[in-house]
Amino acid sequence: MLLSELARDRGIRYFLISFTDLFGVQRSKLVPAQSIDEMAENGAGFAGFAAWLDMTPADPDILAMPDRDSLFQLPWKPEVAWMPADLCDIHGQPMIDTPRLLLKKMVAAAADQGYRIKTGVECEFFLLSGEAHQISDSSDRAAKPCYDQQALMRRYEVISEICDGMLSLGWKPYQNDHEDANGQFEMNWHYDDVLVTADRQAFFKYMVKSIAEKHGFNATFMPKPFATLTGNGCHTHLSVWDNEGKINLFTDTTGSSELSTLGYQFIGGVLESAAALCAFANPSVNSYKRINAPVTLSGATWSPNTISYGGNNRTHTIRIPDFGRFELRLADGAANPYLLAAAIIATGLDGIERKIDPGDRCDNNSYDSPPSDSVKLLPNNLLDALRCLKSNVILTETLGTSFVESYLKLQHQQWNQYSHHISSWELEHTLDC
């Protein structure tokens, strides 16, 4: 069926053809339904330099080819449909160094080895008052607001509309809660194939912000918008299945352990490259205000500070909450849905290939127990993470040298812009020198 015919059947008037750039920003063109078949065939043209891509104004246009198999009709505006797109050059050649295509590359690499990756994400966000940088609910002041029933229900109209949207899209959402910070919420939906989850995560951020604006609020996934409150995480649950998606290969068939040997090897690869992985899991300057952070108002940051794994223990980078899966607690709300997933797969497959032993699990509270000499700390800032990525052979070779060089180039530009900024703290503490 042509997209124009689908539009007629579903009452769609416009299509948003959207791609995600290297920094996770969604770039779109709004196409009327009468023109969508031509755009689907030939692509929507963009100037690559206008987005966060390693291009110049002298470069030719790039084309966004929409994926009709991943069409989302906006629940709050059904006359519009959103479609994620893959980028190609004007000759029709795929631009493999772009986020969604990199994830597809890693999905294919896993499939070649007989593996099918499934993920689920927990996206945390704050609801703020309009343009003001303050919590939208002035009554949300508890020191430990996590799961606060009253605060949750005061934002029922927003949360329920977002959840209704996920229900209508068939995502199988199963719970919503007030999180550990005042004004912070989390919404969970069922896990799926990694590309499906990444597309949904990208759309979820757009949906949350749009519905929040509809109700007069501003939603933010910023990693650490408030110094004394818990930051926005993007916890990622991952399991590896056979190519048919029927058998969970992380399941220990003996029943004596939470994970199979394959699962622990995957974890071993992630932990070995964790410092470099931070460049994708924690891609902003602000990200490092969330990890390695001082104690918050609630008494815990709920963010990792050591490169370690444990059982059902939320103080480590990796938690094994149940049989057959693990949770990476490293990533935050600024993470690019596609690059994060691609990098996790790259490091995990390396762990399987080299049969990396993650070592003994840690059952300590990493917040109040000093780490042993064998446990490494996470990078202290974005620059440290970028340096770790530059020296990491696995991610460079697997994701591609040209992509990593482009990513590092753009991220160093961001770091330099940040470094040129004079903060109020500097003025307060050094002006009298």
Predicted TM-score (pTM) of the model is: 0.97
Position 432 in a domain: no
> How confident is residue 131, by pLDDT bands cut at 50, 70 and 90?
confident
60-84: average pLDDT: 97
326-345: average pLDDT: 98
User: Are residues 223 and 100 in contact, defined by beta-carbon separation less than 8 angstroms?
Assistant: no
Position 61 in a domain: yes
- What are the helix (H) ranges across 144-260? 149-154, 156-169, 194-214
User: Are residues 106 and 334 in contact, defined by beta-carbon separation less than 8 angstroms?
Assistant: no
Position 51 in a domain: yes
Which three-class secondary structure state does DSSP give residue 201? helix
Number of domains forming the structure of the chain: 2
What is the tens place of the pLDDT at every residue in 7-20? 999 999 999 999 99
- What are the helix (H) ranges across 235-365? 261-272, 274-281, 337-353
> How confident is residue 374, by pLDDT bands cut at 50, 70 and 90?
confident
| Residue linked to tokens 């935050």 | 332
Q: Say if residue 310's pLDDT is above 90.
A: yes
Which three-class secondary structure state does DSSP give residue 185? strand
**Within its chain, how far is the Cα of 358 from the centroid?**
24
CATH of the domain at 221: 3.30.590.10
Q: Say if residue 132's pLDDT is above 90.
A: no
Q: Which residue, 5, 14, 31, is CA-closest to 74?
A: 14
Is 143 found in the same domain as 68?
A: no
Average per-residue pLDDT for the chain? 96
134-148: average pLDDT: 97
Distances (CA, A) of 184 to 130, 204, 231: 15, 16, 9
| Residue linked to tokens 């449909």 | 81
> How confident is residue 370, by pLDDT bands cut at 50, 70 and 90?
low
Is 228 found in the same domain as 164?
A: yes
Contacts of 296 (CB under 8 A, 6+ apart): 180, 181, 228, 229, 230
What is the token pair recorded at 289? 């205000």
Last residue of a domain, one of 95, 117, 146: 95
Q: How far apart are CA 417 and CA 73, in angstroms?
A: 38
Question: What was the pLDDT predicted at 244?
Answer: 97
Neighbours of 94 (CB within 10 A): 14
Rg (CA), the chain: 22
Amino acid identity, residue 401? T
Position 321 in a domain: yes
Report residue 130: phi and psi, to 5°.
50, -125
Kindly give the pairing relationship between strand 184-189 and strand 173-178: antiparallel
Kindly give the pairing relationship between strand 80-89 and strand 115-129: unpaired
Q: Which residue, 255, 266, 421, is CA-closest to 348?
A: 266
CATH of the domain at 25: 3.10.20.70
Is 330 found in the same domain as 234?
A: yes
Q: How far apart are CA 174 and CA 103, in angstroms?
A: 26
Q: Say if residue 125's pLDDT is above 70.
A: yes
Domain range for 128 is: 105-424
